[in-house]
Amino acid sequence: MVAKRNHHIKTHFGIILFQDYQDGRPSKRRLLVTSTYSDSYQLLLSLLVEARKEAKLTQTLLSARLGKPQSFVSKYERGERRLDVIEFLNVCRQLGADPYKMIHTLENVSPT
């Protein structure tokens, strides 16, 4: 579902400014507001970074375990890329972290 209002497009994935589209394609100045910037998601990212550091792994070592480039780890840790549930579970597995404990922490600390 896409609803146009004023000068932006509201989608299920966030708000995209209308002027950031040229000829129906995203321009280089594209602004997308998504839940990667929510307090809850930022807390999840900090828990993942903390778990990586506790496991004494660099982004490079973790990415090798995941079979991904180092930029994959860097991007999700900075909130530039979202992790889906399967990726989250795999990252936790490679870190030796308990995904259920992380989710429980999110539920107890985060209102949203």
20 and 73 housed in the same domain: no
For 61-95, what is each residue's pLDDT tens digit? 999 999 999 999 999 999 999 999 999 999 999 99
Task: Kindly state whether residues 16 and 65 are assigned to the same domain.
Answer: no
Question: Residue 19 to residues 24, 35, 62, 63, 112: CA-CA distances in angstroms?
Answer: 10, 21, 39, 36, 30
Question: In terms of domains, do 46 and 28 share one?
Answer: no
pLDDT tens, 15-64?
444 444 556 565 554 444 445 678 888 999 999 999 999 999 999 999 99
- State how beta strands 21-22 and 32-33 pair: unpaired
Q: How far apart are CA 104 and CA 90, in angstroms?
A: 18
Specify whether 53 is located in the same domain as 104. yes
Percent of the chain that is helix, strand, coil (3-state, to 5): 55, 15, 30
9 lies in the same domain as 56: no
Q: Find the domain containing 18 and state its range.
A: 3-33
Report how many domains make up the chain: 2
Do residues 47 and 19 share a domain? no
